[in-house]
């Protein structure tokens, strides 16, 4: 049975009582585009996208509550909920602001959103992404503090927020700053060597891209492993990773080279030339480095060696244990 990934994507620009936003609809549409297909064009997430600007449809508190409950009653592998819009707060916590939000009715509380998600048992993994002000306030029931303290009761939930509990989430150039970073991450900037983009990888990428004094993303997860959110082009072939223990007997082995490996060798060796091509891709991926020179071709011409980098040693261990 094929695994089914589903996403509910919400973007609200237009509000009855709050300032109009500019980038939230575009953000939700961009997330739909990048999540719907893997890099090779194969189907990924089945998306339902709710946006404002249509006179015949409004994202009110009642409507969004209905959509959220119906979404988490579904069945599948990954359930991804994404919200881009205003966030609001009071002394009880944070809220997803909806079109009819007002002073005494702020919207869907973060607590309610999590309670509904935690009751969902038909999805193996749930990923919640909030691009709104005060999004870091989201906390599990009975959690002593925003995004901290006890682990989520329901295993399989990950939460990624655009900002800390006290921070705003910014727009720039008609888009949300945070979501534009997520979009680039999903397109491949957050992928590992095998082209896998995960929730943890997205957070790591966003954390690097957002400056230390601006809005800061937050991440919390109660999972034993991360599922692939999107498959992008891999930097190396699996078979080449599996051959690392063949090239390097131990993680500290230095592999000797000679001119027969070099691409423009006067006395080329066919098998060595094939190995050199694989080693060059491993160098480009940051797994192998030449010794004493900058380029692998120079190392071959000058009969020097190459060795595993720190990251290369990690993949060597995984390959040695047969886990690739």
Q: Could you tell me the sign of the dihedral formed by the alpha carbons of 29, 8, 225, 241, in that order? A: negative
Task: Say which CATH number the domain at 276 has.
Answer: 1.10.10
| CA count, 13 A, side-chain hemisphere, 131 | 31
3-state helix, strand, coil in the chain (%, to 5): 30, 25, 45
Q: Which one of 231, 248, 272 terminates a domain?
A: 231
Q: How far apart are CA 139 and CA 130, in angstroms?
A: 12
The answer to whether residues 194 and 211 belong to one domain is: yes
Q: Which one of 204, 231, 258 terminates a domain?
A: 231
The answer to whether residues 19 and 101 belong to one domain is: yes
Pick from 65, 27, 70, 17: nearest CA to 49: 27
Total number of domains constituting the chain: 2
The answer to whether residues 111 and 221 belong to one domain is: yes
Task: Please list the pLDDT of the chain residue by residue as tens digits (324 residues).
Answer: 357 999 999 999 999 999 999 999 999 999 999 999 999 999 999 999 999 988 889 999 999 999 999 999 988 999 999 999 999 999 989 999 999 999 889 999 999 999 999 999 899 999 999 999 999 999 755 555 554 443 455 789 999 999 999 999 999 999 999 999 999 999 999 999 989 999 999 999 999 999 876 799 999 998 888 999 999 999 888 999 999 999 999 999 999 999 999 888 777 789 999 999 999 999 999 999 999 999 999 999 999 999 999 999 999 999 999 988
The residues near 191 (Cβ < 8 Å, ≥ 6 apart) are: 197, 201, 230, 232, 233
Q: How far apart are CA 142 and CA 230, in angstroms?
A: 33
Structural domain including 249 reads 238-320
Q: Are 143 and 174 in contact (CB under 8 A)?
A: no
The answer to whether residues 138 and 176 belong to one domain is: yes
The answer to whether residues 119 and 179 belong to one domain is: yes
pTM of the predicted protein model: 0.86
Task: Say which CATH number the domain at 134 has.
Answer: 3.40.50.1460
Q: How far apart are CA 319 and CA 282, in angstroms?
A: 14
């Amino acid at each position: 049975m094929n695994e089914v990934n589903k996403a509910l994507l919400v973007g609200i620009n237009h509000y009855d009582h709050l300032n109009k936003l500019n980038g939230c609809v575009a953000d939700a549409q961009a997330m739909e585009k990048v999540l719907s297909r893997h890099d090779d064009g194969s189907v990924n997430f089945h998306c339902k996208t709710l946006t404002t600007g249509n006179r015949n449809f409004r994202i009110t508190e009642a409507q969004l509550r209905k959509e959220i409950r119906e979404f988490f009653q579904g069945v599948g592998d990954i359930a991804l909920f994404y919200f881009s819009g205003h966030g609001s707060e009071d002394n009880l916590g944070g809220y997803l602001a909806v079109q009819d939000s007002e002073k005494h009715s702020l919207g869907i509380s973060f607590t309610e959103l999590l309670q509904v998600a935690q009751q969902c048992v038909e999805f193996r993994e749930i990923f919640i992404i909030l691009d709104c002000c005060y999004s870091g306030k989201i906390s599990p029931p009975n959690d002593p503090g925003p995004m901290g303290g006890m682990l989520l009761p329901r295993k399989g939930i990950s939460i990624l927020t655009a900002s800390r509990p006290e921070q705003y989430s910014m727009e720039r150039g008609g888009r949300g700053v945070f979501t534009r970073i997520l979009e680039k991450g999903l397109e491949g900037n957050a992928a590992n060597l095998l082209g896998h983009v995960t929730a943890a990888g997205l957070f790591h990428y966003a954390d690097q891209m957002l400056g230390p004094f601006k809005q800061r993303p937050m991440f919390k997860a109660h999972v034993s492993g991360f599922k692939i959110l999107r498959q992008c082009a891999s930097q190396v072939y699996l078979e080449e990773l599996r051959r690392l223990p063949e090239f390097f007997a131990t993680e500290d082995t230095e592999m000797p080279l000679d001119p027969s490996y070099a691409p423009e060798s006067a006395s080329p060796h066919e098998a060595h030339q094939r190995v050199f091509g694989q080693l060059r891709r491993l160098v480009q991926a940051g797994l192998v480095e030449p010794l004493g020179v900058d380029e692998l071709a120079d190392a071959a011409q000058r009969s020097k060696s190459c060795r595993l980098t720190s990251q290369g040693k990690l993949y060597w261990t995984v390959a040695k244990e047969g886990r690739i």
